[in-house]
Amino acid sequence: MGMKDWKKILQKITDYKWRIPKSYMEGMRVDGIVFATYSLLEQITADESLQQVANVATLPGIVGASIAMPDIHWGYGFPIGGVAAFDPEEGGVISPGGVGYDINCGVRIIKTNLTERDVEKYKEKLADKLFRYVPSGVGSEGHFHFTKSEFRKIVEQGVTYLRRLGFAWDEDQEYIEEGGHMRGGDFSKVSSRAVERGLPQLGTLGSGNHFLEVQVVDEIFDKKVAERFGLFEGQVVVMIHCGSRGYGHQIASDYIKRFDRNLKKYGIKLVDRQLSCAPFNSPDGQDYFAAMVTAANYAWSNRQLITYQVRKAFEEIFGRKAEDLGMHILYDVAHNIAKIEEYEVDGRKRKLVVHRKGATRALPKGHPLVPRRYRDVGQPVLIPGDMGTASYVLVGMPGSLRESFGSSCHGAGRVLSRRKAKRMFNKSTLLKQLARKGIVVRAESVATILEEAPDAYKDVSQVVDVVEMAGISKKVSRNRPIIVVKG
């Protein structure tokens, strides 16, 4: 359906919030809620993502609403930019399609005390060194060599174990969601094929929309919060966007096949086979969750090993220790994950399985899960843009708890498929455009550069404006790229 058809169905709540009523489709247990402006809706309705929002609303045990963030686009089963919570006590399910194949794809920002002027004359050398130290591309392998026994400890203990090995500063874990060590992971629930794929890939970016960017804080929107986060205008920061590589992908594939085989056992009928799921409290649901947790820990460890390499690269280029360069982690957030969290729904507190697929946590000030340093302002929310424009740092707001199960958008969101982008754009023209903006690019593949062209994405500034209007999260800074490393 296009915009013309959806106009007849969508009910406007506010200028930035729309309802897909549960009467729209037989089997919907709750409404769909879409956060978007009218202009963004015109882009959103170009694919089938709103139909996916409705499909998710048919799953057993869903509560509240099936929610779509303004960066929503079509994904496997669940839309990318989707949030949904399920009550295990009411048959609530867990679905690999609601987490995504790249489990705990997420974003980390590392601060520095350098300014753009400090970095300008070293840009090419720094880009080369980062490209060499942080492998990227399909099937890329890292510089680290762990035994299978060490690998097990990494995926069960995450950054806690890497810290013992000397790959993390003592303070790092405080600024990573879940401390970089999500509990409940069980290595025995993971296939040998997943281990084979994941073991050599630790410390790598991968391909697609993953990147490592050196950015400049271009504009501050909230001075008080920026100061608490340690951000200032002109500051150089590093953003890392990647996930669990082939390890997470294999876990998703393994459990989708297993869930498909067992759907009849649980009496679950799907409107879309890609929504394959199992009751969270079932043996299948518990096994997937335990395996998913190991992939989440893998992803946090992956970003930690990349951080180790980034710090080393900066030390070698600038001839100073990373500590002296102020290379502290601002924060690290997951945006493909399912977690057990408590929210009030229909007047009572419930423990729910919250799926965030292409959505990120956005907890407000005072919340006990916000790091102590940030608790009086709120949790940092990191929103990557595309490689030619800007990324944003936001802060969680109280509205997220009321509106979206503590969630915000996670990026700009695609408007063109990768295939279409490759057909539409020209490498040399695109690189010249980026060079004119002062952006140095290093990439393993021409195809990746074309797939990730700025015009393949929604305008990230419009996306973050919507979540700010909705009271979900609030803009703190805008960061523009000066070095981009991609697969």
Instruction: Indicate which residues carry an active-site annotation.
Output: 410
From CA 257, how far away is CA 314, in angstroms rounded?
Answer: 44
391 phi and psi, to 5 degrees? -115, 165
**Residue 33, both tokens:** 């809620």
From CA 220, how far away is CA 102, in angstroms rounded?
Answer: 32
DSSP bridge partners of 35: 17
Beta carbons within 8 Å of 289's beta carbon, 6+ residues apart: 94, 184, 280, 338
From CA 134, how far away is CA 132, in angstroms rounded?
Answer: 6
Spatial contact of 436 and 430, defined as CB atoms under 8 Å apart: no
- Tell me the DSSP string of 332-352: EEESEEEEEEEEEETTEEEEE
DSSP bridge partners of 176: 332
Strands 62-73 and 31-35 turn out to be: parallel
Name the helix (H) or strand (E) containing 289.
Answer: helix 283-318
Only one residue has tokens 């609601």, namely 98
Residue 264 neighbours by CB distance under 10 Å: 8
From CA 124, how far away is CA 194, in angstroms rounded?
Answer: 36
From CA 220, how far away is CA 365, in angstroms rounded?
Answer: 19
